[in-house]
Amino acid sequence: MMKKLIAGNWKMNGSLAANDKLLKDILAGMGQATCEVAVGVPAVYLAQCQILLAGTSIDLASQDISAQESGAYTGEISGAMLKEFGVRYAIVGHSERRQYHGETDEVVACKAQRALKCGITPIVCVGETLAEREAGKTDEVVKRQLAAVIHTNGHCISEVVVAYEPVWAIGTGKTATPEMAQQVHAVLRAQLKAASEHADCIKLLYGGSMNAANAAQLLAQPDIDGGLIGGAALKAQDFLTIIAAAA
């Protein structure tokens, strides 16, 4: 059976002191986790976290990756650079990047491709806004967002992780019910199956106010293979409870 993946997304939070304490607390409480665990840290802290996580079972993730290989792209961070800091996953297409940085499906697809070329697994985020859900467009939106990645991807798509993150549930405390999340995950799984014989090996994470109280129910759904966790990833005990729920 596929191992679940619990990935934290710290967003623009942390400090040298806070990161040190958080990771040490998580490592101390984790024991032998039977799921995979990763933390998506701000780029400036990758070097610090690489050292803290060396030799542990927690993988490092970046919160973004440049679509470009190298060159005159001020402020961008390339896949090769991320790789030097031991990054295993790159979150791409997070709704905050789509919303505040104008990232289109095409840009997200380029970033996912660039990650794969650098040996980094992209965690591709898809998800509908509240208006799109209320207009009955959830399936259409997530399928369009996923299709952009699948269809420009020359690599084996089993190297991709997909995160369904309804925009209205991110950081709002409003979680999709397990049934709502499962429904969308089943749609995504069917789309992946139509595109790849490896679809059953592709992890489909749920993200959107997943927390210590609701994780077990969400993670019990047949097509939910893990979680992408924002707020609750900043509290060691909450993150540990979610990791335990994924065991």
* CA–CA dist 14, 208 (Å, integer): 20
Q: Is 208 in the site for ligand PEP (CB under 6 A)?
A: yes
Contact 5, 226 (CB under 8 A): yes
Which residues does the annotation mark as catalytic? 94, 165
Contacts of ligand PEP in 167-206 (CB under 6 A): 170-171
Per rule CB under 6 A, count of chain residues that contact ligand PEP: 14
86 is in an annotated binding site: no
Q: Is 209 in the site for ligand PEP (CB under 6 A)?
A: yes
Q: Which is nearer to ligand PEP, 13 or 48 (CB)?
A: 13
CA–CA dist 235, 121 (Å, integer): 25
Angle at 178 between CA 175 and CA 183, to 5 degrees: 110
User: Between residues 70 and 177, which has the closer beta carbon with respect to ligand PEP?
Assistant: 177
CB atoms within 10 A of CB 57: 14
Assign 153 to helix, strand or coil. coil
Instruction: Give the separation between CA 238 and CA 244, rounded to whole angstroms.
Output: 10
Q: Quick check: helix, strand or coil at residue 80?
A: helix
Stretch that binds ligand PEP, among 22-30, 57-65, 150-158, 229-237 (CB under 6 A): 229-237
Q: Which is nearer to ligand PEP, 13 or 156 (CB)?
A: 13
- Min dist CB 133 to ligand PEP, Å, is 16
CB of 230 vs ligand PEP, minimal distance in Å: 2
User: According to the binding rule CB under 6 A, does residue 224 interact with ligand PEP?
Assistant: no
- Residue 93 within binding range of ligand PEP, rule CB under 6 A: no
Q: Would the annotation count 207 as a binding residue?
A: no
Burial class of residue 241 in the structure, from the number of CB atoms within 10 Å of its CB (0-12 exposed, 13-18 middle, 19+ buried): middle
CA distances 123 to 3, 15, 18, 111, Å, are 16, 24, 25, 10
| Interaction of residue 5 with ligand PEP, rule CB under 6 A | no
Residues at the binding site for substrate are 9-11, 171, 209, 230-231
Which residues here bind ligand PEP, judged by CB under 6 A?
9, 11, 165, 170-171, 207-210, 228-232
